[in-house]
Structure 1
Amino acid sequence: MLEVRNVSRVFGQRTAVDNISFRVDGAQFIGIIGRSGAGKSTFLRMMNRLTTATSGQILVDGKDILALNGAAARAWQSQCAMIFQQFNLVPRMDVASNVLHGKLNSRSTLTTIFNMWPRADILQALDILDRLGIAEQAPKRAEALSGGQQQRVAIARALMQDPKIILADEPIASLDPMNAQIVMDTLKRINTEDGRMVIANLHTLDTARRYCDRVIGLRDGRIVFDGVPADLTTDAAREIYGADESFNEDATSTSLPADKVAHLHVLPMAAQ
């Protein structure tokens, strides 16, 4: 259960998020829409503790995650995975290692510096990549992949954390319609098959209508719409965006040979 209570974020004289409150019961797919500067990204960054809230509470299963510090805050970030518009991968690192970095908070600095991972972690990473249909890309550098493939690698890295909640900040904004659909289908499958809550900032109304269980509209940092996709009418869109807008419709496994992961160093059993 997620409960947001009177959360605000002020930057100098500007209020980016203005006293918002809502509650989510169960593993829903929540879409947050609004114009650029409406506060969408700031809210997700507060949830993931990348940005500090000015006031308010965000309760997850009764615990205020905004009050956490130190190790407790880092533990929360492991449970609340973040997916970014620009993927945030290490371009010259291979795909499998990028995915394994989802385990950074639970592994020692020394093992990650030398790219040394327990065999169980490597097999988990390959299983996740296989599930997302890109296992054959595991030995390639991330920079060699298409944008849609890179975003699926970023989703795989998030799944390595085994999070309760996945936050997706404009996950398809830089993708072509075909890859945008693949990425959104992937997030929806994770939501329904794994029972993980997904909260995604989205650009288009059609995407929100197609994939979301619930849509929250922000305008100038305030919630001006909160309802099911069927209620996202033209009048509601005008309220969210402040004027008539033109919305475009989104366009709408292979096992990896063992020699392809030779560059990933398996730790001795004693070190696992």
Structure 2
Amino acid sequence: MRIEAEQITRIFGTAKAVDAASFVIDRPMVVGIIGSSGAGKSTLLRMVNRLTDASQGRLLIDGRDVLALTGRDKRAWQADCAMIFQQFNLVPRLDVVSNVLHGLLNKRGLLPTLLNIWSRPDIDRACQILDRLGIAEQATKRAEALSGGQQQRVAIARALMQDPRIILADEPIASLDPMNAQIVMDTLRRIHDEDGRTVIANLHTLDTARRYCDRVIGMRKGRIVFDGTPDLLTTGAARDIYGAGAEFSEATTSTALAPPAPADRAYADRLLAD
């Protein structure tokens, strides 16, 4: 699958939340989008999924402009392009399996969904996905009874239920502790490696982007200011993304996979928090 973004722009009032963003993804990979709060990362993902309309530009998926789709074609694209949110967006009082099955909403009628009526093959598939993600034992529990990390894995399972070609993750680990954040990122990476799906994620720190991504896009004030492989995320590149006044420790800009020392990690997380 080939993704071509051409001058995608979103204007709110007089402000450009995303300003002429262009990039090409010519094969399945894990792409991280980084940048300060307000850089336009979430708006960009929401335009890709059509939750927010673009003011101008084109997004070609294998040559078809998905920004121009309407009605049934638009809903079909949204089923093909699953979205994972920072706050999980589960139905708290429903059991885990039902939440996963809601990934089929764009492919079935409204009445069966409202009545929570599902076929046995669909239920079996939802349970298989939960088992794959290591949370099958939570299937009958209410979503609200799960930890944050478990809820995010349920959200990932719901996305997989759509059988999408692309998974978009909007700050998927920003609300999680370090252990659960690692589990969630390991899960997203494994989904790409095993399924060959494209994963595009807004991420919290340079360290996370380096660990998990094949490619990193840096945004600042709505514009793409960096687009390259993780090894090119030098101190200079980081300053282009986060501002010339920012200072970065060696641990923060190192390409090594080993985590920085606790003091440096705390400083980096505070500096790069989104």
What is the aligned partner in structure 2 of residue 18 from structure 1? Answer: 19
Match of 2:21, as an amino acid? I
Residues in 2 aligned to 1:161 and 1:62: alpha-carbon distance in whole angstroms? 22
Q: SS where residue 116 of structure 1 aligns? A: coil
Match of 1:2, as an amino acid? I
Return the TM-score normalized by structure 1. Answer: 0.90
What is the aligned partner in structure 1 of residue 101 from structure 2? Answer: 100
What is the aligned partner in structure 2 of residue 194 from structure 1? Answer: 195
What is the aligned partner in structure 2 of residue 60 from structure 1? Answer: 61
After superposition, the Cα gap between the structure-2 partners of 1:55 and 1:233, relative to the gap in structure 1 and judged at 3 Å, is same
What is the aligned partner in structure 2 of residue 244 from structure 1? Answer: 246
Residues in 1 aligned to 2:109 and 2:73: alpha-carbon distance in whole angstroms? 17
What is the aligned partner in structure 2 of residue 214 from structure 1? Answer: 215
Alignment RMSD, CA only?
Answer: 1.5
Aligned length: 252
What is the aligned partner in structure 1 of residue 143 from structure 2? Answer: 142
Residues in 2 aligned to 1:120 and 1:57: alpha-carbon distance in whole angstroms? 38
Residues in 2 aligned to 1:251 and 1:85: alpha-carbon distance in whole angstroms? 26
Residues in 1 aligned to 2:10 and 2:183: alpha-carbon distance in whole angstroms? 33
Return the TM-score normalized by structure 2. Answer: 0.90
Deviates more, 1:194-203 or 1:237-246: 237-246
Q: SS where residue 169 of structure 2 aligns? A: strand
What is the aligned partner in structure 1 of residue 83 from structure 2? Answer: 82
Task: Describe the superposition over 1:156-185 as per-residue Cα deviations: whole angstroms up to 9, x where unpaired.
Answer: 000000000000000000000000000000
1:121 aligns with 2:122: yes
Residues in 2 aligned to 1:239 and 1:195: alpha-carbon distance in whole angstroms? 31
What is the aligned partner in structure 2 of residue 256 from structure 1? Answer: none
Residues in 2 aligned to 1:197 and 1:95: alpha-carbon distance in whole angstroms? 25
Residues in 1 aligned to 2:111 and 2:247: alpha-carbon distance in whole angstroms? 51
1:112 aligns with 2:113: yes
2:185 and 2:212 in contact (8 A); partners too: yes
After superposition, the Cα gap between the structure-2 partners of 1:95 and 1:21, relative to the gap in structure 1 and judged at 3 Å, is same
What is the aligned partner in structure 2 of residue 173 from structure 1? Answer: 174
Residue 234 of structure 1, CA deviation: 1.1
Alignment of 1:2-41 (within 5 A): 2-41=3-42
Residue 44 of structure 1, CA deviation: 0.3
Runs (4+) of structure 1 moved beyond 3 Å?
245-252
Unaligned runs of 5+ in 1: 253-272
Match of 2:204, as an amino acid? H
Task: Describe the superposition over 1:67-101 as per-residue Cα deviations: whole angstroms up to 9, x where unpaired.
Answer: 00000000000000000000000011100000000
1:180 and 1:251 in contact (8 A); partners too: no
Over the matched positions of the two proteins, sequence identity in percent amounts to 71
Residues in 2 aligned to 1:55 and 1:108: alpha-carbon distance in whole angstroms? 33
Q: SS where residue 91 of structure 2 aligns? A: coil
After superposition, the Cα gap between the structure-2 partners of 1:245 and 1:147, relative to the gap in structure 1 and judged at 3 Å, is farther
Q: SS where residue 151 of structure 2 aligns? A: helix
Q: SS where residue 94 of structure 2 aligns? A: coil
Residues in 1 aligned to 2:73 and 2:248: alpha-carbon distance in whole angstroms? 44
1:177 and 1:251 in contact (8 A); partners too: no
2:50 and 2:67 in contact (8 A); partners too: yes
After superposition, the Cα gap between the structure-2 partners of 1:251 and 1:184, relative to the gap in structure 1 and judged at 3 Å, is farther
1:181 and 1:251 in contact (8 A); partners too: no
What is the aligned partner in structure 2 of residue 44 from structure 1? Answer: 45
Match of 2:246, as an amino acid? D
